[in-house]
């Protein structure tokens, strides 16, 4: 039997917070958020209950794709700060019990990266095979990730008279990850950032990194992930790789790797996220319940990451055409609220009509599903989008720290120097900001902080197995997360009407008690059944206390 040191598996019960540094807080007054500004807000993140800070790309970049077009994997965008600022951020975060991870963008580089500049100068360049070149595009070429922006994934290079592969934009040529020299260079990049003190990486666009246009052996296609994980864990035993793998479960699970040959430690649950929005559109949790029941069991060292929104579009590509249309009609009825024919470019509160009951139910669910919750900056205060901004940038507006309509406490510079405009209308800083919510016990911020705190106190959510519980109300998702010694129970109503529900919680000894994690209310569990009154969009979260277990809750 393989023994696992669970003390290193910090990601199993983390609360992860994603930050676009340029949009968070400007410390030097130039109009762009920076690393020193983020450092000033670490106490705020600690108050929220964050235990892991995920930095979106901070590398040197032409900024044609929000920093995901990397020109130097070792450099820092000078507008964001210096390497000294990174080290100070990591040290200060560590003092507050917060780890830091960074984006690892290794599917492609910018066309301004020195490797590609050399590669396109000559076919004899030592960096030529760092990228994928063809005399003619293959007939079975895959579709671009941005079909409304790019006609295909092959771009003609006039100087060397060949096509190069780009799964994303044409200014982002794909790296040839199957090349051992490329893998060696990527390992050096990881080693550099681990030496600076990061605790891991969010690995961008993993399927595009792994899939090979050379049609190699599928098992070998995953060699690059295995080599990256092996290297990371040689350098730091508790380093984590968190992967963006938007695939159906049966394909996605392969990216965890086989026992003894690990790949990613954690993956974002895209199928569950899309099923959640279908359930919200129908006001019926059946689609989500069904998807969670299909979620594969994974090795103890692996984990699912749950999220409501991220920095990209809300992708619905795994739903059927009819299901996707249902979600569009419910939450993005206007065409300009959609993008790439597959997603929605809105944040959650506007999609739900600003109904605070509905919004809170969804975030309660986020912190109740088995796995690790991930927040996108601004979710904790209910920020909205700015639909006049193009494409996915609509959800990437500057953080709203106070009620100043023009600057929102984000910067002292003139608003025209901001990287993007502030949100407007009912979601403007006047109506949604940190200052108003921070000390308000009834605010969304305080509610999310409570959820984070009780999640961290309930290890069974991160470690336990999902079980759908029998209940007599179709609009209610009742489930538990259980380990051998602990059990967490949650109920979430998807209905806008009050409901009384009978729930079956079997297998607990006589005398067991349900303790409400929000207010400490105790309910006796009699003969394995209990009745609950739920308000419209009501949510309740409990820990099972067994006779003699000695726990306060």
Within its chain, how far is the Cα of 299 from the centroid?
20
- Which residues, at least 6 apart from 438, have a Cβ–Cβ distance to it below 8 Å? 44, 47, 445
Residue ranges of E strands in 97-203: 99-104, 133-134, 154-157, 162-165, 200-203
In three-state secondary structure terms, 209 is helix
Q: 185 catalytic, yes or no?
A: no
**Sign (positive or negative) of CA dihedral 334, 339, 342, 345:** negative
Q: Give, in order, the Cα–Cα distances in Å from 274 to each of 277, 319, 446, 458, 471.
A: 5, 7, 27, 26, 24
Catalytic-role residue among 69, 77, 244, 380? 244
Catalytic-role residue among 27, 65, 103, 204? 204
**Residue for token digits 């592969």?**
165
Do 311 and 376 contact (CB within 8 A), yes or no?
Answer: yes
In three-state secondary structure terms, 514 is strand
Do 76 and 59 contact (CB within 8 A), yes or no?
Answer: yes
Residue 41 DSSP symbol: T
Residue ranges of E strands in 338-471: 338-339, 343-344, 372-376, 465-468
Q: 379 catalytic, yes or no?
A: no
Q: Looking at the annotation, which residues are catalytic?
A: 204, 244
């Amino acid at each position: 039997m393989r023994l696992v040191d669970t003390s290193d598996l910090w990601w199993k019960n983390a609360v992860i917070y994603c930050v676009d540094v340029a949009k968070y807080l400007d410390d030097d007054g130039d109009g762009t958020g920076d690393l020193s500004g983020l450092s000033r807000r670490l106490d705020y993140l600690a108050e929220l209950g964050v235990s892991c800070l995920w930095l979106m790309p901070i590398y040197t970049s032409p900024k044609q794709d929000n920093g995901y077009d990397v020109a130097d994997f070792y450099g820092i965008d000078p507008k964001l700060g210096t390497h000294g600022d990174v080290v100070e951020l990591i040290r200060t975060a560590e003092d507050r019990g917060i780890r830091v991870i960074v984006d690892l963008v290794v599917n492609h580089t910018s066309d301004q990266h020195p490797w590609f500049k050399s590669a396109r100068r000559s076919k004899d360049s030592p960096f030529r095979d760092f990228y994928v070149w063809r005399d003619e595009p293959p007939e079975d070429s895959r579709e671009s990730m941005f079909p409304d922006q790019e006609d295909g994934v092959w771009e003609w290079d006039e100087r060397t008279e060949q096509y190069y592969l780009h799964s994303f934009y044409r200014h982002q040529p794909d790296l040839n990850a199957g090349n051992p020299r490329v893998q060696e260079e990527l390992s050096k990049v990881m080693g550099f950032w681990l030496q600076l003190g990061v605790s891991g990486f969010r690995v961008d666009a993993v399927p595009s990194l792994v899939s090979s246009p050379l049609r190699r052996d599928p098992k070998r296609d995953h060699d690059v992930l295995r080599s990256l994980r092996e290297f990371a864990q040689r350098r730091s035993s508790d380093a984590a790789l968190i992967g963006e793998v938007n695939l159906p479960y049966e394909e996605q699970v392969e990216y965890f790797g086989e026992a003894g040959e690990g790949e990613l430690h954690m993956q974002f649950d895209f199928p569950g996220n899309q099923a959640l929005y279908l359930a919200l559109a129908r006001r019926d949790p059946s689609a989500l319940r069904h998807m969670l029941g299909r979620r594969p069991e994974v090795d103890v060292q692996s984990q699912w990451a749950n999220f409501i929104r991220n920095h990209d579009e809300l992708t619905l590509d795994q739903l059927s055409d009819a299901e996707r249309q249902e979600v569009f009609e419910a939450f993005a009825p206007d065409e300009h609220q959609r993008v790439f024919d597959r997603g929605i470019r809105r944040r959650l509160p506007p999609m739900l009509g600003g109904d605070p009951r509905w919004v809170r139910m969804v975030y309660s669910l986020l912190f109740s599903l088995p796995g690790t919750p991930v927040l996108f900056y601004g979710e904790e205060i209910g920020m909205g989008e700015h639909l006049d901004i193009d494409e996915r940038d609509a959800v990437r507006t500057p953080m709203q720290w106070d009620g100043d309509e023009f600057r929102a406490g984000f910067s002292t510079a003139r608003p025209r120097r901001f990287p993007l405009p502030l949100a407007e209308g009912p979601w403007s800083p006047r109506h949604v900001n940190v200052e108003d919510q921070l000390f308000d016990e009834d605010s969304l911020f305080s509610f999310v902080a409570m959820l984070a705190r009780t999640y961290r106190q309930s290890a069974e959510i991160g470690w336990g197995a999902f079980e759908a519980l029998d209940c007599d109300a179709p609009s209610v998702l009742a489930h538990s997360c259980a380990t051998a010694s602990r059990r967490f129970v949650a109920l979430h109503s998807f209905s806008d009407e009050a409901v009384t529900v009978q729930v079956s919680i079997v297998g607990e000894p006589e005398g067991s008690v349900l303790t409400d994690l929000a207010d400490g209310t105790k309910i006796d569990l009699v003969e394995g059944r209990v009745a609950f009154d739920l308000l419209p969009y009501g949510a309740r979260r409990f820990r099972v206390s067994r006779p003699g277990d000695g726990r306060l809750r």
